[in-house]
Chain A
Amino acid sequence: MTATSAPRRAPTNWTAPAMQARVAVRYRRERLFRLAGLGALCLAGLFLAFLLFTIVRTGWSGFRHSEVAVSVVFDAQALGIDPAVARGPGGVEAIRRADFNALMQRSAAAQLGPAADVVSEGAWLDLRAAVLADRGVLGQTRTLWVPVRSNIDLLAKGKFDENEAEVTRGVSNEDIADYHYLEARGLIRTDFNEIFVSAANSTDPELAGIWGAALGSLLTLLVTIGAAFPVGVLAAVWLEEFAGRSRWTDFVEVSISNLAAVPSIIFGLLGLAVFLNFFNMPRSAPIVGGLTLALMTLPVIVITARAAIRAVPGSVRDAALGIGASPFQVVVHHVLPLALPGIMTGTIIGMARALGETAPLLLIGMRAFVADAPKGLTSSATVLPVQIFLWSDDAQRGFVEKTSAAIMVLLVILLLMSSVAIYLRNRFENRA
């Protein structure tokens, strides 16, 4: 290398205006880039906030409903109930047979005048409930607040624009007139909607509730956890503590990691083909839904349980083996107790996913219309997310607020579940 061939480079002039400008541009780009990052997060956050806001805004009124005051003469004769029988052992049966619907219609017609048809078709249930709760009301007159039809309820909540043309408004002129008639007389009020939290599904929005779906979700999740937790933990124990490396274990591991990535709807097809068509299990039943979700949740539980078991220090195993504990005693006495918080965290996360899952359950018939809370693992049932889907699909306007209200319930349960998971995870991490 010769000194002459390389021209001497002038030292960089960092203070030259051109260079200063260049640095300024670079800093501007830096700020923009940083802002873009923050912007992306803010956008996601705004979307989440907007979503939650929309749900709460449309949903909070679902927890309230409107009632109309009707005073009812509980005439035992007209109801066809013998008061003596009603108090006796067969009383419930007798009361259930009585025609409260007619009584409701008579009472409404007598008192509400032109607005008699605002009363919900299910209002008579309140009358029957009153008698079932206290036989003493037979032969007496009581003023009851009974639910109104959904459109009247929505009018009372201000959900309709009364100035719009009747065709597009969604509610008839008669309904508006009825509502104002009642309102002027102080016969209508809005308070806590006990039907929504205690009833099952109904074709009438004002009579529909989430209790049936919530119970269905609970039963389904019980089956899911009952099947997926033991199987998942046992499989994880086997893979981590007992199985050596072999083709078979490789096969199990590949199966598990692939199952974790299979779309949930495929599990629905599996449930349909295997549980319903091959094993002839009942359609729409929590047991089938639970088992289907269990297969879906299993990989999550196995993967997290394996991680938790792996995190137990080997010195604990050595110590126990060293004084003559058998491999099973090592697992039961030492490894599992130490891994339990981690396993629980994974299980809760898996259960939260299962609770929010809709698609596979649609395929095994859990979208059936279920007007009663499920009585057992084999009776027809639906679950919260499916109920949300069904209501959101319903053309009746009254279901919009029910859908959002049901979403609020679902989100609160999910939030509680993940709080427990996070709490467990933190405690676990702090100890380790």
Chain B
Amino acid sequence: MTEPCPKLSARNLNVFYGAKQAIKNVSIDISREHVTALIGPSGCGKSTFLRCFNRMNDTIENARVTGEIRLDGRDIHAADMDVVQLRARVGMVFQKPNPFPKSIYENVAYGPRIHGLASGRAEMDRLVEDALRRAGLWDEVRDRLADSGTTLSGGQQQRLCIARAIAVDPEVILMDEPCSALDPVATAKIEELIDDLRGRYAIVIVTHNMQQAARVSQRTAFFHMGAMIEYGETSTLFTNPVQARTKDYITGRYG
């Protein structure tokens, strides 16, 4: 399935961990307006695939990536692509909330600071407030910005991590099972937030929870054993899957 003007596109992507192939020849286009969900049984490679988009796999010692990924048509593996800038443009939210053991303010301000996005204290304050507002956290933390980020509840921590990613004004946000460590109430809040952020950022979310994929995404890709089995409109994929394996998975035959 191709979009008219994909934000991100992968072509013939393979990922190897040593001799083991984790991703097999995957091609996909990801649009800027939608939330795209990657689903599949655990160990199917969906997180590995997600980490290709901001080259976080570079940090894993024996990982090797072949094929190409383009962000706005530019190859992200090109020699002149600065991986640091790539990661600023393609933000990431991790499975477990991982705020820095610093103040809430510093957590959000860190990104803009290392990228030089604010030229003064006042501008930085504005950036931090803006990011926290958009992450729906501002009202909860406005009086305790100096407290450590680790004192927040799990759901708040994850929203802080989203605020941290938003603060550098990325074009894409990758979310790697952002709710798997959270309770249902916190999960609902994050899902609401994802809906709010849709349209402004291209969002790719990995989830093992099919209901969640159905709730938050407009496009869904189903992965199985490192291969992308099916990719399409979320509503179609869940109600009328083309592939038998997709059908088996969403009806709960395995997973």
Residue B98 CB within 8 A of the other chain:
yes
Residue pair B84, A326 in contact (C-beta under 8 Å): yes
Interface-located stretch among B32-40, B70-78, B88-96? B88-96
How many A-B pairs fall under 8 Å by CB?
Answer: 63
A 307-323 to B, binary, CB cutoff 8 A, 1 in contact else 0: 00000010111111111
Residue pair B168, A324 in contact (C-beta under 8 Å): yes
B 94-108 to A, binary, CB cutoff 8 A, 1 in contact else 0: 101011110000000
How long is the Cα–Cα vector from A227 to B161 in the complex, in angstroms?
39
Residue pair A316, B100 in contact (C-beta under 8 Å): yes
Residue B111 CB within 8 A of the other chain:
yes
Interface-located stretch among B19-27, B53-61, B236-244, B247-255? B53-61
How long is the Cα–Cα vector from A321 to B86 in the complex, in angstroms?
11
A316 proximity list for chain B (CB < 8 A): 98, 100-101
Residue pair A244, B61 in contact (C-beta under 8 Å): yes
A323 proximity list for chain B (CB < 8 A): 87-88, 91-92, 110-111, 114, 164-165, 167-168
B87 proximity list for chain A (CB < 8 A): 321-324
A 323-335 to B, binary, CB cutoff 8 A, 1 in contact else 0: 1111001000110
Residue B200 CB within 8 A of the other chain:
no
Residue A247 CB within 8 A of the other chain:
no
A338 proximity list for chain B (CB < 8 A): 101
Residue pair B114, A329 in contact (C-beta under 8 Å): yes
Residue A34 CB within 8 A of the other chain:
no
Smallest CB separation, A274 vs chain B (Å): 36
Residue pair B59, A321 in contact (C-beta under 8 Å): yes
With most chain B CB atoms within 10 A of its CB, the pick from A244, A315, A319 is A319
Residue pair B115, A319 in contact (C-beta under 8 Å): no
A 115-159 to B, binary, CB cutoff 8 A, 1 in contact else 0: 000000000000000000000000000000000000000000000
Residue pair A319, B84 in contact (C-beta under 8 Å): no
A 285-325 to B, binary, CB cutoff 8 A, 1 in contact else 0: 00000000000000000000000000001011111111111
Residue pair A318, B56 in contact (C-beta under 8 Å): yes
Smallest CB separation, A231 vs chain B (Å): 25
Smallest CB separation, A75 vs chain B (Å): 72
Residue A245 CB within 8 A of the other chain:
yes
B2 proximity list for chain A (CB < 8 A): none
Residue B235 CB within 8 A of the other chain:
no
Residue pair A333, B98 in contact (C-beta under 8 Å): no
With A323-B168, A324-B168, A325-B84 known as contacts, the answer to whether A318 contacts B98 (CB < 8 A) is yes
How long is the Cα–Cα vector from A245 to B60 in the complex, in angstroms?
12
How long is the Cα–Cα vector from A313 to B61 in the complex, in angstroms?
17
Q: Which residue of A lies closest to B167 (CB)?
A: A323
Smallest CB separation, B205 vs chain A (Å): 15
Residue B85 CB within 8 A of the other chain:
yes
A329 proximity list for chain B (CB < 8 A): 114
- Picked from A315, A317, A318, A333, the residue with its CB within 8 Å of the CB of B110 is A333
With most chain B CB atoms within 10 A of its CB, the pick from A244, A322, A334, A338 is A322
Q: Which residue of B lies closest to A312 (CB)?
A: B101
Residue pair B94, A319 in contact (C-beta under 8 Å): yes
Residue pair A322, B94 in contact (C-beta under 8 Å): yes
How long is the Cα–Cα vector from A140 to B1 in the complex, in angstroms?
109
Residue pair B94, A324 in contact (C-beta under 8 Å): no
With A318-B98, A334-B100 known as contacts, the answer to whether A324 contacts B114 (CB < 8 A) is yes
A 262-296 to B, binary, CB cutoff 8 A, 1 in contact else 0: 00000000000000000000000000000000000
B 114-135 to A, binary, CB cutoff 8 A, 1 in contact else 0: 1100000000000000000000
- Picked from B88, B98, B99, B100, the residue with its CB within 8 Å of the CB of A324 is B88
A324 proximity list for chain B (CB < 8 A): 84-89, 111, 114-115, 168
Smallest CB separation, A249 vs chain B (Å): 12
B86 proximity list for chain A (CB < 8 A): 324
A320 proximity list for chain B (CB < 8 A): 100, 110
A317 proximity list for chain B (CB < 8 A): 59
Smallest CB separation, A428 vs chain B (Å): 13
B94 proximity list for chain A (CB < 8 A): 315, 318-319, 322
Smallest CB separation, A30 vs chain B (Å): 48
How long is the Cα–Cα vector from A319 to B102 in the complex, in angstroms?
13
With most chain A CB atoms within 10 A of its CB, the pick from B92, B98, B99 is B98
How long is the Cα–Cα vector from A244 to B60 in the complex, in angstroms?
10
**Residue contacts A-B, CB under 8 angstroms, 27 given:** A244-B61, A313-B98, A315-B94, A316-B100, A316-B101, A318-B59, A319-B98, A319-B100, A319-B161, A319-B164, A320-B100, A320-B110, A321-B56, A321-B59, A322-B91, A322-B94, A322-B165, A323-B87, A323-B88, A323-B92, A323-B110, A323-B111, A323-B114, A325-B84, A325-B110, A333-B110, A334-B100
Please provide the 5 A-B residue pairs with the shortest distance between their CB atoms, ordered closest to farther. A324-B88, A315-B98, A322-B92, A324-B87, A323-B111
Contacts A321-B87, A324-B114, A333-B114 known; list 4 others, CB within 8 Å.
A245-B61, A323-B92, A324-B87, A325-B110
